Structure 1
Amino acid sequence: MLEKTFYKMMLSKSFPFPVKVTYWDGKSEVYGNGEPDVEIVFNEKIPVTEITKNASLALGEGYMDKKIEIKGDEKAVQKIIMGAYQSADSFMRASKFRKFLPKQKHTEKQSEADVQSHYDIGNDFYKMWLDPTLTYSCAYFEDDNQNDLEEAQIAKVHHILNKLHPQKGKTLLDIGCGWGTLMLTAAKEYGLKVTGVTLSEEQFELVQKKIYDEGLEDVATVKLEDYRELGNEQWDYVTSVGMFEHVGSENLSEYFSDVYKYLKPNGVALIHGITRQQGGATNAWINKYIFPGGYIPGLPEIVTDIVENNLQITDMEMLRRHYQRTLEIWDKNFNNVRDQIQEKMGERFTRMWDLYLQACAASFESGNIDVVQYLLTKGPSGENLPMTRKYMLNK
C-alpha cells in the first residue's frame, strides 16, 4: 500500500499532459485533465528503494525487462520522457531523486574499453538502421520538411567542412573519425590531406578498407590510436564530431589543449558535440548500458575550457532540433527492422536500444540537451576566414 502511495505521488505531477497509469494489481488511474493518449503499465512493481536510489536506472531497467510497458503511438516512449523533463515536479528533475554517480575513469585504457563497448557491437548492426554513409551523429536538415537522412548527413559533412573555409592541399585531422565519411569527403571533394583517429577496431578496419578501395592512400590515413598519443604533428584544420562527450569532465580541458596543440598557427577547428545549456550532467542508465563513461558538458564549462586553452571562438551554432529529427528517423529505421535486430541481438537489447533512441530524442525535444558546433581558431577569432557567415553556405 505504501509503495502504491509513493508511485501515485511520483507520477501524479510528473507530466504536463494527461497520462493513464495501470498498476501491477490491474487498477488504473488517470493523472492530469483530459483524455490520455498514452498509458504506462506496470506489469510488476519496482521497489521504491531502487527508484529513490536512481530513478532513470531503475525505470530504464524496468522497461528493458518488460516490468514496464508504454502504450500509445510509435512515439509514446519519447512523449512520456519528454513530458517528464518538461514538468518541474517530475521524478526526472526533482532533487530528491538524484544521487551522485561513482566517479568515472577516463584513462586511455578505460576510454578504449568504453568506445569499443559501444561502437564495436558490429558494423552490420549499425548498417541496419543508419543511413548508407554510416554517419552516427546529428544530421543537418537544410529544409524544415526534409526527411531524407542520407541527404541530411551529407549536408552536415559539407556544413562542417565549409565552415573551415578549407584550402586545397592543406591538412585536416578528424578526432573520432567514425566510419570515415567526413575525412574521406574532405580528401575527395575538398582536396585536403586527411588523418582520422579512432579507438574502434570495427571503424578502423572499415575506414582503412575504404581508403584502399578508393585509391586514397596518398591523401588519407586512419589510425587506431588514442587522440592523446598523436605526438607533435600539426594540421591546418581539426574536426571532431560527437567526441568530447566521451572524454569526461576531468579531461575536457586536456581535450581542448590537444586541439590547440594539433593546430598549426592560425589553424581552424570545428568541434561538434552534445552540450547542456543548463550545466553538465550524466545519466546512470545511459552510462551503464549505452555509453560507459559518458558525460554531457555544460555550455559555460565548454566555453571556459576553450578560452583557457588559448583557442578563440569564431562562431557557435545550436542544432538541437536537427538532432531530435535525426534520432526520430533513426528510431523509425530501427523499428522497421526490429524483428531482424531482435533475432540477432535479443529482445532485452532491442528494447534497450529503442528506449535509448527515443529517450535521446525526447531530451533534445524538451531542451534538456542541445548539440553545438564550435568554430575555433588558434589565433585571433576569425583569422583567415571571411568577414561574414555567407561563405558557410557555399555549395
Structure 2
Amino acid sequence: MLEKTFYKIMLSKSFPFPIKVTYWDGKSETYGNGNPDIEIIFNEKIPMSAISRNASLALGEAYMDKKIEVKGSLQKLICGAYESSESFLRSNKFRKFLPEQNHNEEQSEKDVQSHYDIGNDFYQLWLDPTLTYSCAYFTSDNHDNLEQAQIAKIHHILNKLHPEKGKTLLDIGCGWGTLMLTAAKEYGLKVTGVTLSEEQYKLVQKKIYDENLQDVAEVKLEDYRELGDQQWDYITSVGMFEHVGKENLAQYFNDVAKYLKKDGVALIHGITRQQGGATNAWLNKHIFPGGYVPGLNENISHIIASGMQVDDVEMLRRHYQRTIEIWDSNFNAHREQIQKLMGERFTRMWDLYLQACAASFESGNIDVIQYLITKGPSGKNLPLTRDYMLNK
C-alpha cells in the first residue's frame, strides 16, 4: 500500500497529459484528465529507495530488464516528464545520487571505445551511408532525407569557416571521417583527424588509401591533448566536448586555442544546455560513460578565457530532434537483426536511449549549438555579414 501511494504521488505529478498505469498486482489507475493514449505497465515493483536515489537510473534499468513496459510513444512520455517541473526527471527529490567521473587520458580512451567501438556493422544498420553520428542539418521543413541532411551539415560547418584552398584543418573527434575527407576533396584543405576509437581510425585510414588522399589527409589514433605544438588554420570539433568532462572543459578550449594559428577560425559543434550543465546517471552508466553536457554560459566563458572570441552562435535543437527520430525509426526497422546480434536487453537500452534523447531535445531540456570562434578579433578574415554561410 505504501508503494502504491509513493507511485501515485510521483506519477500524478510527472506528466502534463493523462496516463494509464497498470501495477504489478494487475490493477490499473489513470492519472490526469481525459483518455490516456500511453500506458505504463509495472511487471515488478521497483524499490522506492532506488527511485528516490536516482529515478532515471532505476527506471531506465527497469525498462531494460522488462520490469517496466510502455504502450504508446516512449518519446512523448519522456518529453512530458521533462516538461513537468515536479516530475521524476526534474525534481531534485529523485536525483540524490550522481556518478563520479574521471577524465584522465586512459579513462577517456576506455569511455570512447565503450560507445564507438561496439562495431561499425551495428552503426551501419541505422546511421545514414556517410556514417555521420551527430546532428544533421535539414534545409527545409519537408526535408527528411538523412544522408542529404548530414551532407548539408558538413557543408554548413565548412562554409562557416570561409576556408581558403591549400590551408590546413584539424578535426578533433573525427568520427568516421566524413567531415575531414569532404574538406580535403571539395574544399582543397590539408586535413588531420584525431580519434580514440580504433574502429573509426581503421575505417578512416582505409578511406584515405582507397581514395588516394594520402598527400592531403591523415588520421591519428590518439588523445587530442597529445598533438604537440603543431598548429592549423582551421579547427572543427563535432560532438566532442560532451565527452571531456566538466573539469576538463577549460583545458579543451585552451587546447583549441593552442592548436589554432593566429587569426585562425574554429567551428565547435556540440550538445549544450541553455539552463546550465548536467549529467544523467543512466546515460553515464550505460551509454556515454563520463558524459557531461555543459551549459551555454560555461562554454562561452571558457572560449573567452582561452583568448579566443565568439563570432557566431547557432542553435540546432529541432534539427537534432528530427535526426534522432529518423535514427530510431531506422533502428527499429532493423530491430530483429539488432536483437539477434546484441541481445534483447541491449536493444531495449538503445531504443530507450534514442527516444529519450529525442524527447530531451523536443522538450528543450538540451540543445545543440554551433560556436564559430576566431583566435583574434571576432570576424577577422570573415565576410562582413552572415550571408556567406548559406551561399555556397
User: What is the TM-score with the length of structure 2 in the denominator?
Assistant: 0.99
- Equivalent in the alignment of 2:9: 9
Match of 1:243 among 225, 240, 244: 240
Cα deviation for residue 103 of structure 1 reads: 2.5
Alignment map for 1:1-395 (pairs within 5 Å) = 1-72=1-72, 76-395=73-392
Provide the rounded CA distance (Å) in 2 between the counterparts of 1:94 and 1:259: 36
Cα deviation for residue 285 of structure 1 reads: 0.3
Cα deviation for residue 130 of structure 1 reads: 0.2
Provide the rounded CA distance (Å) in 1 between the counterparts of 2:350 and 2:92: 27
Provide the rounded CA distance (Å) in 2 between the counterparts of 1:179 and 1:94: 38
Contact 2:99–2:281 under 8 Å retained in 1: no
The C-alpha deviation readout for 1:258-299, integer Å capped at 9, x for no partner, is: 000000000000000000000100000000000000000011
Aligned-pair identity in percent equals: 79
3-state DSSP of counterpart to 1:30:
strand
Q: Structure 1: which amino acid aligns with 2:386?
A: R
The C-alpha deviation readout for 1:196-225, integer Å capped at 9, x for no partner, is: 000000000000000000000000000000
Provide the rounded CA distance (Å) in 2 between the counterparts of 1:102 and 1:88: 23
3-state DSSP of counterpart to 1:34:
coil
Contact 2:237–2:267 under 8 Å retained in 1: yes
Provide the rounded CA distance (Å) in 2 between the counterparts of 1:99 and 1:195: 43
Provide the rounded CA distance (Å) in 1 between the counterparts of 2:368 and 2:125: 25
The C-alpha deviation readout for 1:210-255, integer Å capped at 9, x for no partner, is: 0000000000000000000000000000000000000000000000
Q: Structure 1: which amino acid aligns with 2:6?
A: F
Provide the rounded CA distance (Å) in 2 between the counterparts of 1:389 and 1:70: 45
The C-alpha deviation readout for 1:157-178, integer Å capped at 9, x for no partner, is: 0000000000000000000000
The C-alpha deviation readout for 1:315-351, integer Å capped at 9, x for no partner, is: 0000000000000000000000000000000000000
Contact 2:318–2:361 under 8 Å retained in 1: yes
Provide the rounded CA distance (Å) in 1 between the counterparts of 2:95 and 2:147: 39
Q: Structure 1: which amino acid aligns with 2:54?
A: N
Q: Structure 2: which amino acid aligns with 1:367?
A: G
Aligned Cα RMSD in Å?
A: 0.5
3-state DSSP of counterpart to 1:128:
helix
3-state DSSP of counterpart to 1:314:
strand
After TM superposition, the runs of 4+ consecutive aligned structure 1 residues lying more than 4 A away are none
User: What is the TM-score with the length of structure 1 in the denominator?
Assistant: 0.99
Q: Structure 2: which amino acid aligns with 1:50?
A: A
Contact 2:274–2:366 under 8 Å retained in 1: yes
Cα deviation for residue 100 of structure 1 reads: 4.2
> How many residue pairs are counted as aligned between the two chains?
392
Show structure 1 runs of 5+ residues with no match.
none
Contact 2:54–2:97 under 8 Å retained in 1: no
Show structure 2 runs of 5+ residues with no match.
none
With 385-394 and 95-104 compared, the bigger mean Cα shift is at 95-104
